[in-house]
Amino acid sequence: MSSPKERIVKTTFELFAKQGYHSTGINQIISEANVAKASFYQYFKSKEDLCVEFLNVRHDYWFNELHQFTIQEKETKSKILSSFDFLIYMNEKENFRGCSFLNILSEIPTDNVKILNVIQHHKTDLRNFFSEIIEDKDLSDHIYLLFESSIIESQLFRKNELIEKSKKIINQLIN
């Protein structure tokens, strides 16, 4: 049996993915998570605080999955290629849901620094993931940009075609 906080975050993930941040209300989350309103406010002062928690949980989950997916690869090229295979895996697992961070970014006001900081932290960690594998900073950033655009394009077209194209490009870029 999961705790009320875990049920709230799990329900938030499902509702944000299905309806988006703006269209999901606190009362709906409370109802579908089957928790008391007091329990919700015991853990979260606002929808914004819930979103920050959701993104932090998502960040930890996502990076854990990425590391598990790539950990056995020792060579630079194979590690990078397996990270793109991870995108295909996640698309199949989550039905082309896309990036939770970018999905929410498109819905928040530009002055929402609290949520923006969490999103920027996630993207910085992803960029660092590639820079730790590839010493060449320009090449690392190029791979990062291919990765990010692959996420967006696969969500938009609900296909892994451009992820596969990115892998072909990487094969040419990395010796």
36 and 59 inside one domain: no
Verify that 53 and 110 share a domain, yes or no.
yes
pLDDT given for residue 139 in this prediction:
97
Q: What is the mean pLDDT of the chain?
A: 96
The reported pLDDT for the residue numbered 173 is 93
**CA–CA distance, 136 with 154 (Å, rounded to integer):** 27
Which pair of tokens denotes residue 43?
A: 């853990």
Residues 73 and 114 in one domain: yes
Are 81 and 71 in the same domain?
yes
Q: List the one residue out of 62, 63, 60, 84 whose CA is nearest residue 73.
A: 84
Cα–Cα distance between 109 and 17 in angstroms, integer? Answer: 19
User: What pTM does this model have?
Assistant: 0.94
Please report which confidence band the pLDDT of residue 175 belongs to, taking 50, 70 and 90 as the band edges.
confident
Quick one: average pLDDT of 135-150? 97
pLDDT in tens, 11-57: 999 999 999 999 999 999 999 999 999 999 999 999 999 999 999 99
Please report the pLDDT score of residue 61 as a whole number: 97
- Is residue 169 domain-shared with residue 133, that is, in the same domain? yes
Residue 139 is which amino acid? L
DSSP 79-121: HHHHHHHHHHHHHHHHTS---HHHHHHTTS-TT-HHHHHHHHH
Domain count, the chain: 2
Spatial distance between the Cα atoms of 11 and 91, rounded to a whole number of angstroms: 20
- Contacts of residue 30, defined as CB under 8 A and 6 or more positions apart, other chains included, come to 8, 36, 37, 40
If we measure between CA atoms, which residue out of 65, 67, 73, 72 comes closest to residue 90? 65
CATH number of the domain within which 3 lies: 1.10.10.60
Sequence length of the chain is: 175
Q: Which residue from 41, 163, 171, 18 is spatially nearest to 103, judged by alpha carbons? A: 18
Asked if residue 162 and residue 79 are part of one domain, the reply reads yes
Q: Are residues 107 and 161 in the same domain?
A: yes
Residues 89 and 117 in one domain: yes
Instruction: Let me know whether 130 and 166 are in one domain.
Output: yes
**What is the distance between the alpha carbons of residues 17 and 58, in angstroms, rounded to a whole number?**
12
Dump pLDDT digits (tens) for 55-75.
Answer: 999 999 999 999 999 999 999
Q: Are residues 112 and 162 in the same domain?
A: yes
Check whether 123 has a pLDDT greater than 80: yes
Structural domain of 84: 46-173
Instruction: Supply 74's token pair.
Output: 């020792």
Q: What is the CATH number of the domain that holds 89?
A: 1.10.357.10
- Same domain? 37 vs 68: no
Residues 134 and 50 in one domain: yes
pLDDT number for residue 1? 73
